A and B are shown apart, each in its own frame.
Chain A
Amino acid sequence: MKTYRTLLRALLLGAVASALPVAGISAQEAATRAPAPTLQPPASPTKAPDADGFIQRWLILDPIRRPGSLADSAVQAAVKTEYFPDQFTVLPRDGAKVTVRDSALVWHAVDTRRYNVNLYHFAYALSKPTSNVLFWAVTVVNAPRDIPNVRLAICSNAASVWWLNGEEVIGIYNDRQATIDDGVSKRLTLKQGPNIIRAAVINGGGATDFCARFIDERGNPVKDFTVSLNAGKR
């Protein structure tokens, strides 16, 4: 029957589209993708870390295509490439656009409902590629006073490089699943006021996500700060 065939075609197209999020997505399809189940737009000016200290508010840029090795030198070369102006210092607004290789990419402000940011959900909901990609993420940690002797502790699937206030503090490489406190920095000081965390997460294939928190000398989470997406200077 015609209605049956139409229904069947729609179902098949839907199944194919689900399996191949990268290629040939129609505008209609893109417009109807459900929002990422674990992410939501921020609803408050600041956010506390969760009960285990994980930072749940981030600005994330649409993924940049980046096929290639996940080994140390290849990842370092990838993250040190300048894809757009001021990429190591920018603190963008939600919705801000940059142009990378003739593509318009958008910064998105998100809160995650979990301890981690599921980049697969993020990219899929936006009908963006999830494999062989590089994600830039930025956030601001506001400390009530100087907090010395803390370490940034992150997880990522897969490789990632992290900066605190412009200084590179973590790099973890090769294909890996996300395990909390997988990458840990040397001892750092969170300075009173805003501290900018910036990350570049590179995925090969499959799932991709990241998480971040600060831990103290004993490995316990530091929670005495708030998270925002501006440095309070505007």
Chain B
Amino acid sequence: MIRSFSGLLCALAAAPALHRFGAATVLLLASPVIALEGDPGIHDPSTIMVHQGKFYTYGTGAGLPILVSDDGWTWRRAGSLMEAVKGDRADVLKRGGNNTWAPDVIRSGDKYFVYYSAPATQPRSAIGLLVGTTLDPASPDYGWVDGGPVVWSDGVADNYAIDPGILRDPTSGSLWMTYGSYFGYIRLVQLDPASGKRLYPDREPVNIAINGEASIMIYRDGWYYLLLTRGSCCAGAASSYNIRMGRSRAVTGPFVDNMGIDMLQGGGKLFVGSGGRYIGAGHFGLLDLGDGVQKFSLHFEADLDRGGRSVLDIRPLLWQDGWPVAGENFAAGTYEIQSARTGTSLEMAVEGVPVGGPRARGPGGVGGPGGARAAGEPTPIPAQDAAQVGGKWLTGPVNARLSQYLVQAQQKWDVAAVANVGGYPGSPYFKITVAGTDRALAATAAAELVILPAFTGAPEQLWRIDQLADGTYRVMPKAVPGSDQSLALSAIGSSMPTLARFDPDGNRQHWLFRTP
């Protein structure tokens, strides 16, 4: 059977997909997302950390397994956290048990805090703390110090102390942990950013939600969002796991969903559930890549292409009407690539031919004065493809430009995933070719664009396509020849595409991929 990825390439290349996002439009996906590459098997992944150019996440399992990636696309196992723990964790084991589940991790100052679940028999559990100064196991400074238990549940209190999720409040620098599961409440405590332990150990935790686990908060524009996972885990394709959310103006709640229902009474707006080849969505984590580009991590209980095993996934995080929205990773297909700024579309700069061939102008189009009006049913005009009109095209490199879209062959693009050239969080690199040909869009050393006669796989012909918060896409070459600049496809004037530094506040680098 296929290694999930390469077989999917063939299937997906044949399936056109609609990518369209607007204030009143539901996100549609006609073909499944492409799975992460390598060995992304994990359960209950922590927030993904970016550390010295690598991506790390930690999960449930013996010793808290580590997954690492050089690019966010291809993942590999890299041992476990507990292999580098000093101390016997006696206090954690006293409060909880000798299991290690569902960690989360955060950087605070020059330290890293890992919080992990150490359950005994439900609902007795503790959440333990590990403190380190680097995430890189190869570093001489690598090692984790036992920070003892932070919170615990004793079987009497209305809580089951598992599934920590950490938020650093950007408005104040304060540190918070949410935790809990189906027994009792999801709870909130404040942490000390210096030590990682509870800042006010004598205060009662705040109850903020019921009917969920794997909770975590994020913040944006004056709102605190509580995301948690509802439904059942751990049953493969029978897992009903789905991620739900509410929001509050205060970090301590109340968290209310879009229907006005408090999460303490079971409220929760759906963020993401099952779809395509993935069943059982759980354990949200925010991955903020800067410049307004955000992704989220999660696991799916069952990746059907990997025999129903639990896997990590990374997807775009969008925002609409004050709520986070789960985006989809880019799917291969044939597209019109339209500038969201200018309303003109990418084309190879060759003379266009009207679809169906030239015809005289007249009122009502074909059949106007001077044209013969055909009797009977009108005959459909077939779509224009490169085979019909490409004979007149230059054989060498051709410029790119933006023009009003007329459904012509030089304006339609095949976007196909490329194997074995790496990727970025959530996706592989893509090639972008004039539909039906091998003519490939490429970056030039002058940071402009060219369409080369044939795709060779060189880095300047590989494209990274990230969905932005508003649903449009940023398109970036893997490399600009002879430069280390990170540039994005950009519209300057209404007919000129170029490459320029990504500006998060403008829309020059916002693109729509439309059904052609």
Contacts and interface: CB of A to CB of B under 8 A. Distances in A.
Given A186-B448, A187-B446, A187-B448, A173 B493 contact: no
B498 A186 contact: yes
What DSSP secondary structure best describes chain B's contact surface? loop
A184 B351 contact: no
Interface string B469-504: 000000000000000000000001111101010000
B350 interface: yes
B448 A215 contact: no
Given A187-B446, A217-B500, A219-B508, A71 B494 contact: no
Contacts of B498: 186-187
B447 interface: yes
Interface size classification for chain B: 10 to 19
A20 B350 CA distance: 36
Contacts, number: 41
A72 B495 contact: no
A186 B495 contact: no
A72 B350 contact: yes
A89 interface: no
B332 to A, nearest CB: 30
Nearest to A153: B493
Contacts of A151: 492-493, 496
Interface in A207-234: 215, 217, 219
A71 B351 contact: yes
Contact of A184 (B349, B350, B493): B493
Nearest to A74: B351
B495 A172 contact: yes
A72 B495 CA distance: 14
B492 A72 contact: no
B492 A183 contact: no
A150 B498 CA distance: 13
A198 to B, nearest CB: 20
A94 interface: no
A183 B508 contact: no
B351 A183 contact: no
Contacts of A18: none
B446 A186 contact: yes
A179 interface: yes
Given A181-B493, A215-B492, 15 more contacts: A71-B352, A72-B349, A151-B496, A153-B492, A153-B493, A179-B494, A181-B492, A182-B493, A182-B495, A184-B495, A185-B496, A186-B448, A187-B448, A219-B492, A219-B508
Interface of A: 71-73, 151, 153, 172-173, 179, 181-187, 215, 217, 219
Interface of B: 349-352, 446-448, 492-496, 498, 500, 508
9 contacts: A71-B352, A151-B496, A181-B492, A182-B493, A182-B494, A183-B493, A183-B495, A184-B492, A217-B500
